[in-house]
Structure 1
């Protein structure tokens, strides 16, 4: 049951106010992957939902360092959009119900859709999938690092062992409150556990329809930050939080039935699933520019670190960029899915999901043939063997990833020039500024952005 199921459908605003809402936070995720928010007090809730909240279109070209770059698609400081809180996705940020969050759509002042809205871009691809007879589910796995100390002098909160019970117990009070807050928000986390790096934690979110899944990922990140602060901790979802350590990913799991035919069975991916996976595989270079677009993303995406450094797929192969997951024998075929390992939380979840869906749909429409699965670490092959098998290394630099995105007609068409052009401008600004710094300084510059 979602949070909104408990609201009075005739007047959800009164239900929120009667339930104790004191403040509503509404937000978008910009082309730098940063969540930008505005808030209204309870007494302004009805007006905000009716009229929207003003937001300059220039946010489309706001960069990771808060500088403002330029794009022909955005008229500088001129103009205004309206943030329209979507109360169908409203959720409390804690069990006390005092502060709620709702994702926002960007509309014109005439309340018409605007072509720079990232959430709308995902909605278009979701509608396209439904029209093709697909029932798509996405699920995000979010990795983050927990620190003690201050933002100026952070220290990882745990020192291992990786996946160990010791860090689990060290963080148990934080973990319990986090799970309770997620439950109160209608997000039924599937797993929460220490990860490989010191201080690293992963939370696995349940599968949902594409827009709902992206909303859920943003909600979960806010709750993590909020609960961490209540425990005197700091959390960071940045792709790398400690130079030289294993970085944080934001993996997307996707599956889709086609006219009720499941995504896979005991024999592996179904026919339509193979075409969907093949479409994503074909666009992986350009997808890297959307899913992993920060100045440290390529530093995280290195071989033999389970980060998907090579464009290939394999059944339960955690070194392949695309990992086919058949699931436990007791949960098949419903559990079958494909994990995309290249992404991180510096990407905009709405654009990442939209680009993945568009690539998969292109594979289905063109009936692309999926190559043979790779059943070992692709780094263990020689260069010649990888070439013979069609395995390629994904872009080694941010500029290479952005160039691949720029050349992808599939992704550009799906997102639209009004999103892609500002997106490239923002990320290239990052590459020419923060990207010129040594790794440790780049990590420091991004640590508290996400």
Structure 2
């Protein structure tokens, strides 16, 4: 096998490379090149208008003073360090793309670069961060215009597993071939809903893995005549899909978990996330149905609190099995959903956590019961109840704005506010229908 990465890919059987970004609507936008153009694409990049930063969920293009409309051009530069086959046949490969100028300099609207900056900040602080995603999605049969859920339960049931057995086996094989072996794959609470847990890795690699896994899921589903949606709500009245972030970090060799809960540095990191939860909601759960998913009883983190193994808290501290402690300890952020941009979600969580570490923020007492079960005057506050409230919190978050930059935050707000204006006033069933096949 050749040592040149382009030659090695061609020798392995590559016929097409898909390279993609995730835009501010959380939608994966892609360009593809045939094998004959692979070397040129990797050397020169692929043209992409900066106006893609203003593409909305409905494919409309909004406006922002920081993006000059249709004027200008960027280069999508495939990162062959993260290239992966989309299946065992090794014919179609995927690589995430960085957005560069025509002079191949970084541009300030690149979401992947924003995450890379926060990862470097964590390393400079002496942290070894490990992060992984749990992705929920809904499997459908039938026609996109009139789909039916792929299973009818029971929740978490073996019957649902057996109903989708052939799809599940092929999916696990394809994820292995892509280099993202699933840690778990199982039916979830809602009808037709599955969850795949991805292995923990460095933050940028974890965000890349989340995108790669979604492509693999869609590709394998198609071969089985199935439809898949990662939308936050896919059927009105059903529990929606989450994109849960698990993270841990050692500091100078000290693990995240301690004898009696989070270690001292973990407490600072978690406190930083708690302090920014409202603004983080605007990044991690920014669709016109996200607030409908994030309600008490959905295990979606409706309350601004944390607790050990508390699935109704926005932050769930996970000590892990006794055989793996203290190194198995981690924190799960429950509020996110798959309509978010996973690069921005990861960068924002890191920025909030690092700010907590720098400020030595104090973690309040955790809750060991369902937050909704406390008397009203003792309940923790609810997270933003509307998309506009979440976006306003993001807009005014000095921590998140400094981390992401105005060139990302302001177009992001413009896109999500366009969605709120164009789709947000529709009945829930219409909003669900509008988003179902976007993700």
> TM-score range with shorter-chain normalisation?
over 0.9
CA–CA distance in 2 between the matches of 1:341 and 1:135? 22
2:264, 2:127 → 1: CA distance? 13
Q: Does 1:402 align with 2:391?
A: yes
The match for 1:266 among 247, 254, 259 is: 259
Q: Distance in 2 between matches of 1:121 and 1:144?
A: 27
Does residue 197 of the first structure (1) align with residue 173 of the second (2)? no
For residues 144-155 of structure 1, the aligned pairs below 5 Å read 144-155=137-148
**Alpha-carbon contact 1:266-1:326 (below 8 Å) kept:** no
Query: 1:204 Cα shift?
Result: 0.2
The residue that corresponds to 1:4 in the other structure is none
Pairing partner for 1:442 from 427, 431, 435: 431
For 1:376-418, what per-residue CA distance to the aligned partner results, in whole angstroms no more than 9, with x for missing partners? 00011122112xxxx2100000000000001100000000000
Alignment of 1:124-163 (within 5 A): 124-163=117-156
Q: How many residues align?
A: 439
Task: Check whether the contact 1:304–1:377 (CA below 8 A) recurs between aligned residues.
Answer: no
1:12-40, Cα deviation, whole Å (9 max, x unpaired): 11110000000000000000000000000
Q: Which residue of the partner structure matches residue 285 of structure 1? A: 278
| Cα distance in 1 for residues equivalent to 2:381 and 2:128 | 31
Structure 1 gap ranges (5+)? 1-6
TM-score of the aligned structures, taking structure 1 as reference length: 0.97
Measured after TM superposition, the shift of residue 266 of structure 1 is: 3.2
* Structure 1 equivalent of residue 407 of structure 2: 418
2:103 corresponds, among 110, 118, 122, to: 110
Query: Residue 301 of structure 1 aligns with which residue?
Result: 294
Does the 8 Å CA contact 1:71/1:422 hold for their aligned counterparts? yes
* Secondary structure class of the residue paired with 2:109: coil
Q: 1:229 aligns with which of 222, 229, 234?
A: 222
CA distance in 2, matches of 1:25, 1:332: 40
Q: 1:67 maps to what in 2? A: 60
Task: Using the TM superposition, give the Cα deviation of residue 332 of structure 1 relative to its aligned residue in structure 2, in angstroms.
Answer: 1.2
C-alpha distance after superposition, 1:303-341 (max 9, x if no partner) = 011110001000000000000000000111221000000
What is the distance in 1 between the residues matched to 2:253 and 2:142? Answer: 51
Write the mapping of 1:40-55 to structure 2, written as runs, cut at 5 A. 40-55=33-48
Report the 3-state secondary structure (helix = DSSP H, G, I; strand = E; otherwise coil) of the residue aligned with 2:76: strand
| SS state at 2:81 partner | helix
Asked if 1:174 corresponds to 2:163, the answer is no
Quick check: 1:27 aligned with 2:16?
Answer: no
SS in 2 for 1:166: helix
Partners of 1:169 and 1:147 in 2: how far apart? Answer: 15
**In structure 2, which of residues 315, 333, 336 is the aligned counterpart of residue 343 of structure 1?**
336
Where do residues 2-41 of structure 1 align in structure 2 (5 Å cutoff)?
Answer: 8=2, 10-41=3-34
Report deviation, 1:51: 0.1
Which residue of structure 2 aligns with residue 320 of structure 1? Answer: 313
Report the secondary structure of 1:82's partner residue.
Answer: strand
For the 8 Å contact 1:140–1:250, the answer to whether it is kept is yes
Find the residue that maps to 1:342 and give its secondary structure. coil
Q: Which residue of 2 aligns with 1:358?
A: 351
**Are the counterparts in 2 of residues 143 and 249 from structure 1 also a CA contact under 8 Å?**
yes
Q: CA deviation at 1:267?
A: 1.6
- Quick one: distance in 1 between partners of 2:259 and 2:251? 17
User: In structure 2, what is the Cα distance between the partners aligned to 1:331 and 1:171?
Assistant: 32
Instruction: Confirm or deny that 1:119 pairs with 2:108.
Output: no
- CA distance in 1 between counterparts of 2:357 and 2:19 reads 35
Give distance in 1, aligned partners of 2:402 and 2:358.
15
Instruction: Give distance in 2, aligned partners of 1:35 and 1:72.
Output: 24
TM-score if structure 2 supplies the norm length?
Answer: 0.99
Equivalent pair of 1:116/1:419 in contact (CA under 8 Å) = yes
Q: Structure 2 unaligned runs (5+)? A: none
- Give the whole-Å Cα distance in 1 for the aligned partners of 2:140 and 2:76: 33
SS in 2 for 1:149: strand
Distance in 2 between the 1:42 and 1:254 partners? 37
Q: Is the 8 A contact 1:285 1:401 kept in 2?
A: yes
Runs of 4+ with deviation above 3 angstroms: none
SS at match of 1:436: coil
* Structure 2 CA distance for aligned equivalents of residues 137 and 290 of structure 1: 20
